[in-house]
Amino acid sequence: MSLTLVGISHHVAPVEVRERVALEPDDAAAVARRLGDAVCLSTCNRTELYLAGDSDEAALATLEELAGGSLATVAYRLHGEAAAAHLFRVSAGLDSLVPGESEILGQVKAAYEAAEPGPLLDKLFRQALQVGKRVRTETAIGESPASVPSAAAALAQQVFGDLAGRRVLLVGAGRMGELAASNLATRGATIAYVANRSFEAAERVATAFGATPVGLNELAKYLGDVDVVLSSTGAPDHVIDARDVPGKRHNPLFLIDIAVPRDVDPGVQGLDGCFLYDIDDLEAVVAETLSVRRREAEQAERLVAEETARFGAWQSSLDAVPVITALRAHAEELRSEELDRLGTLNSEQRELVERATGQLLNKLLHLPTVRLKDAAGEPEGALLADAVRRLFGLGEGR
């Protein structure tokens, strides 16, 4: 049973490509169901399809359909242990824009739970979740929590020097928006307004920060009254257009767009006094955290390698299962034939004979079973399995 991964991420594709294949959870689950035995993981920084089988062409075609064009130059394809190792690194936060961030583990879990995986993918994703937990428990890579929202707040502080008294318009009241608001408030900023498609959600977050809730259709009215706009909605199109930004301002307007697809019209960057940063621009902020996390990341990589080897050994052991099953079935058939030849036995005699022959069969098959499993995945494994087939005539009929 083979494992295939096809995907794109921030490592290989810019945000304008990633946003075309970014999927809401329900849509990601629908894509997985359409592909069969599959799981679709779609976040701000990646869209990846994990499949049981070798259908990487079907997976790539699905991504290209979403993108509306070829992804041949940016999509990666991984198989077997390489695909498993990649998912384990993703789950551990080692492949994230901000190494060690914790949000990805929940996203991996949600993608897995929304799909209908078969035995291979079920094992893979369960182990991936365990890897993520091990890394966070056994290393200090997340002791100084870093995430896209916190990196965005750090970038705002770099631009203004001091966020005390800076007024913020938060666009999007989801988890990312709340985290961003918390990070900005911790650094001294004032959350002045919270805008969201659902006004009730905007009220809930606004109440937590002493802000004013507003509707998405009112954004243009408040852009002239804030210093920072941080946008993180799940809208399919821009929610802030260049025409919404007032032409005359006393202070610079700093806009951080961490949504995928992007919330802010890129044309805003060309307006006087406006400074627009998207999720790709956060890489410079993230780079500053790498040096202090490198040692812990190395330990996390060792854990990932260890878990990858375990998964590989498990997957290889599956190759021995058909031979072991056939050998046991063959032995059981012979035992059943010999029991039938004994003629009429009372129930007590029958039970004693069946128990004795069953125990004998188990003892005889125990060592061959162990040896077949141990050799699976090794060069001699296939030879040993073939030898067992030949010695016992498995699959030849009788």
Which two three-digit tokens encode residue 199?
A: 């006004």
Pairing status of strand 46-52 against strand 167-171? unpaired
Over residues 296-330, the pLDDT tens digits come to: 888 889 999 999 988 887 877 776 777 888 888 88
Which residues lie closer than 8 Å to 77 by C-beta, 6 or more apart? 4, 5, 6, 56, 60
**Token representation of residue 391:** 């010695």
Question: Under 8 Å CB-to-CB from 264, ≥6 apart: which residues?
Answer: 229, 231, 238, 239, 240, 255, 257, 276, 278
- pLDDT: which is higher, 54 or 64: 64
pLDDT tens, 142-195?
A: 765 466 777 788 888 878 888 998 999 999 988 888 888 888 898 899 999 999
* Closest among 171, 156, 271 to 230, alpha carbons compared: 171
Buried b (16+ CB within 10 A) or exposed e, 127-158: bbbebbebbbeebebbeeebbbbbbbbbbbbe
Q: What is the DSSP letter of 344?
A: -
Residue numbers annotated as active site: 44
Could you give the CA distance from residue 375 to residue 384 in angstroms, rounded to a whole number?
Answer: 8
Q: Which two tokens stand for residue 222?
A: 């408040």
Instruction: Report whether pLDDT(247) > 90.
Output: no
Q: Is 73 exposed, middle or buried (0-12, 13-18, 19+ CB in 10 A)?
A: exposed
pLDDT computed for residue 86 by the predictor: 95
Cα 173 to Cα 206: distance, rounded to the nearest angstrom:
9
- Per the model's pLDDT, the better-predicted residue between 320 and 132 turns out to be 132
Block residue for tokens 């918390």: 182
Which is higher by pLDDT, 368 or 39?
A: 39
- Distance, in Å, from the CA atom of 109 to the CA atom of 131, rounded to the nearest integer, reads 12
Check residues 220 and 391 and name the one with the higher pLDDT.
Answer: 220
The pLDDT-based confidence of 202 (bands split at 50, 70, 90) is very high
Q: Which of 160, 11, 173, 157 is nearest to 78 (CA)?
A: 11
Q: Which domains does the chain have, with CATH numbers?
A: 3-144+294-316 (3.30.460.30), 148-272 (3.40.50.720), 320-392 (no CATH)
If you ran DSSP here, which 8-state letter would residue 392 be given? H
d(CA 6, CA 61): 10
* Among 17, 39, 43, CA closest to 117: 39
The residue type found at 59 is A
Min mean pLDDT across 55-59, 95-99, 219-223, 276-280 is at 95-99
pTM over 0.85: no
Tokens describing residue 181: 């608001």
The pLDDT > 90 percentage for the chain reads 46
